[in-house]
Amino acid sequence: MRRVLVLVGVGVGLWLVLLAPAWWRYGDLVLLQSGVAFSLSLVPAVATLIWANYAWKSSPESQLLAALGGSGVRMGIVLAVGAFLYFQYPETFSAAFLVWLLVFYLVFLALEITLVLRPGKTPPAPETKASL
């Protein structure tokens, strides 16, 4: 659960840092575009991070499925919904929306990989009987 909070916290911090100058420069439409891109990237990232945390306790096959399946599911969702919004509502979701989406997608992907691969507390090694 701690890793999910780190993912969300870093994501919100990045969004606020990027939003301030963009909102000042381009106006209120940036708030909608960046908010949708942020949410669209965050929700699948959180879901796949939770899935990876549960798979970590399972077999190696489950870990591989979580890693590859999570990446595929996330990419499919983000691309499908992002393309839908871009093509169905071009006056609201312009090319700037795609830039926001790309930035948040890549940041959340890198952060999630870092959180999953970062070594945590390792369980103690099992005690073995010393042979004399």
Domain boundaries, the chain: 2-117
What residues contact residue 101 under an 8 Å CB cut-off, 6+ apart? 37, 40, 41, 78, 82
- The conformation of residue 128, written as its DSSP 8-state character, comes to -
Kindly state the tokens that stand for 11: 């994501």
- Indicate the residue type of 13: G
Kind plus residue range of the DSSP H or E element containing 40? helix 29-56
Tell me the whole-structure pTM to 2 decimals. 0.77
Q: What is the pLDDT of residue 27?
A: 81
pLDDT at 123: 46
Q: Residue 40 in contact with residue 101, Cβ under 8 Å?
A: yes
Note whether 13 and 108 are within 8 A (CB).
no
Distance CA 129, CA 111 (A): 41
Question: What is the pLDDT tens value at each position of the chain, 132 positions in all?
Answer: 788 888 889 989 988 898 888 888 888 888 889 999 999 999 988 888 887 777 777 777 776 777 677 778 888 889 999 999 999 999 889 889 999 999 999 998 888 888 877 755 544 444 555 555
What integer pLDDT is reported at residue 110 of this predicted model? 86
